[in-house]
Amino acid sequence: MKIKTQLIELCQRYADKRVLGYKNEIELIKESIENNDKVSNEEDDSGNSKLLDDLEKNMTYLHDANKMREQLKLVRPNLVSDVAVLGSLIKTDSMTFFIALSIGKVEIEDAEYYIISLASPLGQLLKHRKKGDQFKFNEKSYLVEEVL
């Protein structure tokens, strides 16, 4: 299915961009720490302390972004299932969801798609739904019209 392949490619670009961004941020922080070590006196470690905190946060974010990439490898564009699972495209009476990563609303070929994680609250509601099922999310009712 062409649209699922496009959505997966979009997810891949998103995950790659996040990984690259965190790697670049980590390199900048490491350079700043090195520069601070060369010019600072021993009494003023507050700058390095903040940088080390930022480094730790970005290392965690990078780890999460890499996990996101790994999760994406499990998504199969040719998957055929009657129920909503990872990689499913779920068309409802008002929105179309793609279960892969938590990205949110995207537009492809003048159509809107909501890319959501299976672990998200909405992903959990959609899990194992099939054509004809109804569910409620944020006080709004949805009818599943198709699972691809």
Q: Residue 38's pLDDT is what?
A: 73
Q: Residue 13's pLDDT is what?
A: 97
| 94 and 129 fall within a common domain | yes
The predicted-structure confidence for 109-123, as pLDDT tens digits, reads as follows: 999 999 999 999 999
- Whether 18 maps to a domain, the answer reads yes
Number of compact structural domains in the chain: 2
Q: Cβ(6)–Cβ(32) under 8 Å? A: no
Q: Is the dihedral of CA 76, 77, 81, 82 positive or negative?
A: positive
| 96 and 141 fall within a common domain | yes
- Whether 94 maps to a domain, the answer reads yes
Q: Left (φ > 0), alpha (ψ -120 to 50) or beta: where does 110 sit?
A: left
Q: Is the dihedral of CA 22, 28, 29, 30 positive or negative?
A: positive
Q: Residue 103's pLDDT is what?
A: 96
Structural domain containing residue 48 = 2-73
* Residue after which a domain boundary falls, among 21, 47, 73: 73
